[in-house]
């Protein structure tokens, strides 16, 4: 049986002109740095960055599920409150939407061919978080649960 985990999924929505302005990589790194500090401050473990999304897990530890849910919700609120519609520089604005899911997650180790190995998280919490995040499309992002 896999441990009970709570996941937070967030997706960035760049509001950028085309072509992208110079220095974009610097500002994206700064944005992700702020987000990573907020996640770790709330006890989350960044499992994977996947394109413009991030999967964050709150693993089973000494805290019960209620505390982990509160920490994940606080994390999502902090990220959205401080980083949604964030103006990083002239012509560089990013938005973020968060979804939260609760339940069991399995981490699969796949690959091994051609010296490649990937880790893949699967389970109901990821589906819940994705559905909650997708339900916010076209809205000003606020955290929801699936």
Residue 51's pLDDT band (boundaries 50, 70, 90)?
Answer: confident
> Comparing 60 with 144, which gets the higher pLDDT?
60
CATH architecture of 4-145: 2-Layer Sandwich (3.30)
* DSSP assignments along the chain, one per residue: -PPEEEEEEEEEEEE--SSPPTTHHHHHHHHHHHHHHHHHHTT-EEEEEETTEEEEEE-SSSS-HHHHHHHHHHHHHHHHHHHTTEEEETTEEEEEEEEEEEEE-EEEEEE-GGG-EEEEEESHHHHHHHHHHHTTTTS----EE-
Kindly report, residue by residue over 105-117, the tens digit of the pLDDT.
Answer: 888 999 888 889 9
Mean pLDDT, rounded, of the chain? 79
pTM value is 0.78
């Amino acid at each position: 049986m896999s441990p009970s985990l709570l996941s937070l999924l967030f997706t960035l929505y760049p509001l950028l002109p085309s072509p992208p302005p110079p220095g974009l990589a610097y500002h994206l790194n700064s944005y992700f740095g702020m987000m990573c500090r907020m996640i770790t401050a709330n006890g989350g473990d960044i499992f994977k960055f996947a394109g413009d999304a991030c999967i964050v897990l709150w693993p089973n530890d000494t805290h019960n599920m209620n505390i982990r849910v509160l920490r994940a919700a606080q994390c999502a609120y902090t990220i959205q409150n401080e980083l949604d519609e964030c103006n990083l520089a002239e012509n560089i604005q990013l938005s973020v939407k968060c979804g939260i899911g609760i339940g069991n997650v399995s981490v699969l180790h796949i690959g091994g061919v051609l010296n490649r190995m990937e880790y893949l998280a699967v389970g109901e919490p990821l589906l819940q978080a994705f559905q909650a995040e997708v339900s916010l499309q076209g809205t000003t992002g606020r955290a929801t649960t699936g």
